[in-house]
Amino acid sequence: MRLNRNSGLALALIAFGVMILLSKMGLHMGHIMSFLFPVALIGLGYVGLRNDRTIIGLILIAIGSLVLIVKLSGVIAILVAIGLIVYGISSLKRKSRAY
């Protein structure tokens, strides 16, 4: 099998199709399946951009990105909390300068 520039897209479509079939057959992938639709929208938007369909591509990427951000909001909140904790600890360790 020779790999060309469309091989990555073909492999991604095959993987998405297998995951959908497994879900329909009763072998649920759990939380991973909920990320399939927004990732597919982003991928289709990218394909639209590559094929000079700029407006449709940008719309699909925007919708997919917004849905993905909503689905990842819990993870994003945890990362923000960790960042605030690290910043607070580094602020406490920093020596205050008295002039």
Average pLDDT for runs of 10 along the chain of length 99: 67 80 77 80 90 91 93 91 92 69
Position 97 scores a pLDDT of 57
DSSP letter at 30 equals G
Residues 38, 51: Cα–Cα separation, whole Å: 20
Position 61 scores a pLDDT of 94
Residues 34, 68: Cα–Cα separation, whole Å: 9
Residues 24, 52: Cα–Cα separation, whole Å: 34
59: tokens are 């719309």
Position 98 scores a pLDDT of 55
Residues 50, 58: Cα–Cα separation, whole Å: 11
